[in-house]
Amino acid sequence: MLSLQHISKYYQVGGNKNFVVNDISLDVDEGEFVSIMGPSGSGKSTLLNIIGMLDEPNDGYHYFVNQPVHQLKEKQRAALYKQYIGFVFQAYHLIDELTVYENIETPLIYQDVKGSERKAMVADMLDRFQIVGKKDLFPAQLSGGQQQLVGIARALIAKPKLLLADEPTGNLNSKQGEEIMELFRKLNKEDGVTIIQVTHSEKNAEYGSRIINLLDGRVESSRKF
Amino acid sequence: MIRNYLKTAWRNLVQNKTTSFISMAGLAVGICSFLLLATYLTNELRYDRFNTNAGRISRLTFSYKSADDKEVNTTALTPTAPVPVFKQQLADIEDGVRVVNYSNMRAAVVQFGDKLFKEKKMLVADASFFKIFTFKFLSGNPATALANSTSIVLTASTAEKYFGDEDAMGKILKVDQKNSMIVTGVIEDVPEYSQIKFDMMGSYAMMPRSLNLAWSSSNDYSYILLKPGANREAVAKQMTDYINKDRPASGGKMWFGLEPLTRVHLYSTAGKGLEPSGNIKYVYILGFVAIVLLVLACVNFLNLVTARSAERAKEIGVRKVMGAMRGQLFVQFIAEAGIITLFSLIAGVLLLSALLPVFSNFTGQQLSLQTWNPEWLILALVTLFVVVTLLAGTYPSLYLSAFKPIVTLKGGSSMQAGGNMLRKSLVVFQFVVSVFFIISTIIAGNQLRYIQSLNTGINRDQVLVLDLGGMGYNQIESFKGEIGQQTGVLGSTASYDSPVNVGGGYSINTAEGKNADFNLSVTAIPVEKSFTKTLGIKLIAGNDLDLGDEQQVMDTSADKRRYSFILNEAAVKGMGWKPEQAIGKKIGLNGRMGTIKAVAKDFNFASLHEEITPIVMFPEYDWFGKLLVKTSGKNTANTIAAIASKWHKFYPNSPFEYHFLDQEFDAMYKTDQRTGGILTAFTVVTILISCLGLFGLAVFSTRQRIKEIGIRKVLGAGVASIAGLISFDFIKLVLIAIVISSPLAWFAMNKWLQDFAFRVSIQWWVFVLAGGMAALIAFLTVGYQSIKAALSNPVKSLRSE
């Protein structure tokens, strides 16, 4: 599904290049569930952002569904991104001014989905995550776990092929975290959504089918289950 | 999609009540101020344009310069001949009309049955008046309304005053007890924005002078209707050629000019017209002020929106991650700006309609929403909506939509460098404008106070002015004798005209020791012996007029009549004499032969906009329009009541009316005072808006520096030092603004002051005071934010996630 070849990301500090991601090559197939681990500053989030096209590498080749991302123009990249990728954040990043319903609906608006169709899709999603009763509440009125649930629902509403999650359980207690992980597993198994998550927790990482360990911007180890 | 934008925008507004309110209030005040001024300017600019023929009508001006005059005298007053003669002689002239201000010197006393009024706005004009000008007739025929010498046309409210609900047509009014006038027409009230205003209009034929065509004695206002396509300049030249060919002036020059009707109100330099004129300079100044205020309000809005960008940053990041394109976000923020603009516009218009009556009062103009043509008003509002939205919304929208999601979502500072400089420049700009206004207001205030307090050489204090309804010498003398015995009356004197604004062009055309063709243009005023004493005019040489001088001019045989003149210093200087030399010299003033008896210290007998020019005072008894009564100022009401009761005894047929000389003096500076007042009001608005902008920047900047503040606190900085540090950053901007603004204000106000022959000099302390005020206001605005930031808990600000 995606292929990174010799990807590097660095900051120029004085005369030196300060590498955040250093010559990483990585292939992810459709249907995989990858966990990226590593200590603070090892480049996990940057790598995830590069995969999600939120950040651009300085060097290397990046292919996504057989398209050379490193050659695409901003607009084409955005189109590709919109069609295939969903993002989940540690801090949920819901829009405070919008209700649960509207938060979930927003990506569809940007994809020019018609109003009636949007209604049906959001209703479906609310149903599936069992948050119909909460649809008119604002994020501030929800618990952390519920907010992350909305965050995931929002990421999934446009039916992405790839779900990127940056420490999705980082702000949650262990029980809430477990529920989210179960949800991820189910999405991966039953719906065939490819998932790449960044996590600090060994336990959560083991939900994945592959664990990649990063250290100082390089892949230190990679193991498949 | 738009619905989603609007929803977010709305919730954003509601959630941030304070900032939303501030940005809307600022914008609403700005829009309201702009519209107020625009209404005022619309009114000024529409003057006389209601006349269907406005484009073809010109007012005739007459200029002359005699050999001994230093400057050209231009007047809008013309003799009786030009209109009928030129109408016959020049092919390009379609029609013409002479208009006379009948009630100029004294109000007309008009009687119908037991109703008796003094009419201050009675004009007389040639029969062609209503053909040339467009006034709507409610009854009567415009073509024939002024055909007879006994015709009179009334405005609707005048007709109602005399006849109530009865039909006015054909009724007979007695004017000044001698003329019986038949009402031949009733017109709608004359609009406030007409240079020719009147309550009643008689026929020119009632004036004795209508019988002879004279080229001297200018007392009429003449309006010329040109044929379509005729060249105004060319016609004026033909007129000038005509008069110089047929009536060569003795050593002097004279020429005619044609002022387009629509330019008379704002551009005329021809001196006193039928109505006090406006000033195009003030139109430009106020127009500039209007635009500046609007821009300020937009700048303010822009500053506040970008100041809130930190709060919006996350939302922008999330939206971008969810697939929003920059263009879509741009549209969203523009839509938000649009909503705020719309609300502000509505609030501004509501405020406008609430303030227009107050503003009308303030400016002395009839202003209302009706001043606008409805289509124009709607067009103006729509344009304003679009312009303000774009002006205020574009930059923030570009700025916000350019945020990089990665940066904003990492929770770090979303501020991107570059915008800072712009925001600071905007605040400097706002304060440049504020300081400019503060300085201008102070200087204008100084000048206006100076005018009030300047010793003009005339003691105006507690002087009552009464209109003399054509009394003879003996009658005046006995009336004066009667009121002189009332307590509180210190003295009284009759004169041709009010001493604070003397009109009347004469010339000294013979003088002892001068050539036969000597000619000096002077202002002259018939007075009586007590004139200088009552008004406190100082004599620097010679003796005041006495009873003997008065009796000399009463002599019925013209060749025995001898005049005694009082000249002012300027006149004596114009003659080339020293004051002492002048005493006893023989001169002739338009045929009045006599000797100079005294020289008066210069005093201001015209507006302080003008230098003191030569004036001659002389006794002459057929021409007294005013009685000036000097009172003690103690128990004035009783004194006035006593004078009134004597008046009614002497003049049972004439209502008693009076005013104070001071009021008359103040009236001459109405335009200046009005502009000063407007300037003050809008200075306050400017300062208010600028403070909102500064407040916005303070909020923004303290948030941006929250980490720095935290670190400083951890390192042991005290509240005072941090508050000082932040405040100084802003005070610095204000100081820059003061430096930029001061020379601009100096330049502009210097220019304004040039219009006054008598003016204050601009003092350095004005700039210090204005700067100090701006800095203090800025400090108070920023102080709260600074202290709040200084008091904040560093643990909170330094926690990264």
Q: Tell me: the pLDDT tens digits for B384-439?
A: 999 989 888 888 888 888 877 777 776 554 445 556 777 788 888 888 988 998 89
Q: How far apart are CA B239 and CA B137, in angstroms?
A: 33
Chain A hits for B401, Cβ within 8 Å:
none
User: Kindly report the CA angle at B752 between B751 and B757, in degrees rounded to 5?
Assistant: 95
* B251 pLDDT higher than 70: no
Cβ-in-10-Å burial (0-12, 13-18, 19+) of B3 comes to: exposed
Average of per-residue pLDDT across B284-294: 87
Task: Tell me the residues of A at the B interface, defined by beta carbons under 8 Å apart.
Answer: 49, 54-55, 75, 78, 81-82, 87, 89, 91, 93-98, 102, 105-107, 109-112, 154, 158
Instruction: Check residue B1 and give its pLDDT.
Output: 67
Phi-psi region at B122: left, alpha or beta (left = phi > 0; alpha = psi -120 to 50): beta
Q: Which residue of B has its CA nearest to A102?
A: B4
pLDDT tens digits along B208-223: 888 888 887 788 999 9
Cβ contact B654:B109 at 8 Å: yes
Query: How far is B342 from chain A, CA to nearest CA, in Å?
Result: 21
- Range with lowest mean pLDDT among B343-352, B549-558, B783-792: B549-558
Q: Using a CB-CB distance cutoff of 8 angstroms, which residues of chain A are in contact with residue B325?
A: 75, 78, 110
Q: Shortest Cα distance from B683 to chain A (angstroms)?
A: 38
Read off the tokens for B256.
């005619």
Pick the residue from chain A with its C-alpha nearest to B326: A75
Region label for B462, one of left (φ > 0), alpha (ψ between -120 and 50) or beta (otherwise): left
| Binary contact (A110, B328; C-beta < 8 A) | yes
CA distances from B655 to B108, B116, B176 (A): 11, 7, 12
> Mean pLDDT over all residues of chain B?
85
Q: Are strands B151-155 and B93-101 parallel, antiparallel or unpaired?
A: unpaired
Facing B324 at nearest CB: one of A75, A93, A110: A110
- The position carrying tokens 């119909």 is A132
At B414 the pLDDT is 45
Give me the amino acid identity at B611.
E
% of residues, chain B, pLDDT over 70: 95
Q: At what angle do helices B374-401 and B309-321 cross, to 10 degrees?
A: 70
pLDDT for position B487: 84
State how far residue A113 is from chain B, nearest Cα, in angstroms. 10
User: Percent helix, strand, coil in chain B (nearest 5)?
Assistant: 50, 20, 30
CB-CB under 8 Å, A93 with B409:
yes
Q: Quick check: B323 and A55 CB within 8 A?
A: no
> In the 8-state DSSP scheme, what is residue B749?
H
The residue among B153 and B676 whose pLDDT is bigger is B153
The total number of residues written for chain B in this structure: 801
Interface test with A, best of B15, B16, B311, B321 (most A CBs within 10 A): B321
B323 — alpha (psi -120 to 50), left (phi > 0) or beta? left
Number of A to B CB contacts under 8 A, please give it. 55
Among candidates B612, B333, B354, B341, which has minimal Cα distance to B458? Answer: B612
Cβ neighbours, 10 Å, residue A168:
27
Say yes or no to pLDDT of B85 above 50.
Answer: yes
pLDDT in tens, B609-657: 888 889 999 887 766 778 899 998 888 888 999 898 888 888 877 778 8
Confidence of residue B316 (pLDDT cuts 50, 70, 90): confident
Q: For the residues of A39-97, what is the DSSP string, one character each?
A: -TTSSHHHHHHHHTTSS--SEEEEEETTEEGGGS-HHHHHHHHHHHEEEEETT----TT
Amino acid at B367: L
CA B732 to chain centre: 37
Identify the band that residue A16 occupies on the pLDDT scale cut at 50, 70 and 90: confident
Residue B317 C-beta-side C-alpha neighbours within 13 Å:
29
- Strand ranges (E), B556-613: 563-568, 586-589, 592-600
What is the bridge-based pairing of β-strands B592-600 and B563-568? Answer: parallel
Provide the CB-side half-sphere exposure for B700 (13 A, CA): 28
Q: What is the DSSP letter of B209?
A: G
Give the span between the Cα atoms of B369 and B377, in whole angstroms.
Answer: 8
pLDDT tops 60 at residue A75: yes
- What gap in Å lies between CA B359 and CA B376, rounded to an integer? 21
Provide the angle, in degrees to the nearest 10, between the axes of the packed helices B764-791 and B719-753: 150
pLDDT for B747: 93
Question: Where is average pLDDT lowest: A143-147, B530-534, B622-626, B765-769?
Answer: B622-626
CA distance B690 to B696: 10
Asked if pLDDT for residue B681 goes beyond 70, the answer is yes
Q: Which of A123-137, B283-297, B396-410, B481-495 has the highest mean pLDDT?
A: A123-137
For range A78-92, the mean pLDDT: 87
pLDDT of residue A14: 81
**Of the ranges A168-177, B262-271, B406-415, B654-663, which one carries the lowest mean pLDDT score?**
B406-415
Which of B233 and B67 is assigned the larger pLDDT?
Answer: B233
pLDDT tens-digit map of B51-65: 999 999 999 998 887
CB contact under 8 A, A49 and B406: yes
CB contact under 8 A, A78 and B11: no
Distance from the Cα of A222 to chain B's closest Cα (Å) equals 27
Joined tokens for residue A104: 């979930």
**Residue B561: which residues within 8 A CB-CB, separation 6 or more?**
B552, B553, B555, B592, B593
- In terms of pLDDT, which residue wins out, B716 or B143? B143
Q: What is the mean pLDDT of residues A27-41?
A: 92
Name the fold adopted by A2-224: Rossmann fold (3.40.50)
Residues of A in contact with B328 (CB under 8 A): 110
CB A87 within 8 A of CB A119: no
Q: Under a CB-based contact definition with an 8 Å cutoff, are residues B466 and B647 in contact?
A: yes
Compute φ and ψ for B191, nearest 5 degrees.
-60, 150
How many Cβ atoms are within 10 Å of A179's Cβ, its own excluded? 15
Q: Which residues of A touch B405 (CB under 8 A)?
A: 54
**B801 band by pLDDT with thresholds 50, 70 and 90:** very low
pLDDT-based confidence at residue B799 (cuts at 50, 70, 90): low
Inter-CA distances, B273 with A126, B451, B634, Å: 80, 23, 37
Give the 3-state secondary structure of residue B516: coil
pLDDT score recorded for residue B695: 80
What are the tokens at B752? 């304004």
Percent of chain A with pLDDT over 90: 51
> Which residues from B are below 8 Å from A when comparing CB atoms?
1, 4, 7-8, 11-12, 15, 314-315, 317-319, 321-325, 328, 405-406, 409, 411
Give the pLDDT confidence score for residue B158 in this predicted structure.
94
- What value does the mean pLDDT take over residues B454-467? 87
Which pLDDT does position B797 carry in this prediction?
66
Contacting residues of A for B321, CB less than 8 Å apart: 54, 87, 93
Compute the average pLDDT of residues B311-333.
83
Give yes or no for a contact between B599 and B579, defined as CB atoms under 8 angstroms apart.
yes
Is the alpha carbon torsion for B532, B536, B542, B547 positive or negative? positive
Q: What is the DSSP letter of B753?
A: H
Q: Is the pLDDT of residue B555 over 80?
A: no
pLDDT recorded at residue B84:
93
Distance CA B395, CA B459 (A): 60
pLDDT over threshold 70, residue B677: yes
pLDDT digit string (tens) for B724-735? 888 888 888 888
CB B702 within 8 A of CB B392: no
Q: Tell me how far apart the alpha carbons of residues B191 and B189 are, in angstroms, rounded to a whole number.
A: 6
Verify whether the Cβ–Cβ distance B322 to A106 is below 8 Å.
yes
Distance from CA of A104 to the nearest CA of B (A): 10
- Neighboring chain A residues of B315 at a CB cutoff of 8 Å: 95-97
**Domain segments of chain A as ranges:** 2-224
> How is chain B split into domains, by residue range?
2-44+279-451+671-798, 54-264, 470-650
Mutation pick from A109, A114, A198 vs chain B, by most beta carbons of B within 10 Å, is: A109
- Provide the 3-class DSSP secondary structure of residue A157: coil
Contact B38, B290 (CB under 8 A): yes
Query: For residue A171, what pLDDT is reported?
Result: 83
CB contact under 8 A, B318 and A109: no
* CB–CB contact B7 A98 (8 Å): yes
User: How many residues can be counted in chain A?
Assistant: 225
3-state SS class at B256? strand
CA distance A151 to A163: 12
Name B327's Cβ contacts closer than 8 Å, sequence gap at least 6: B401
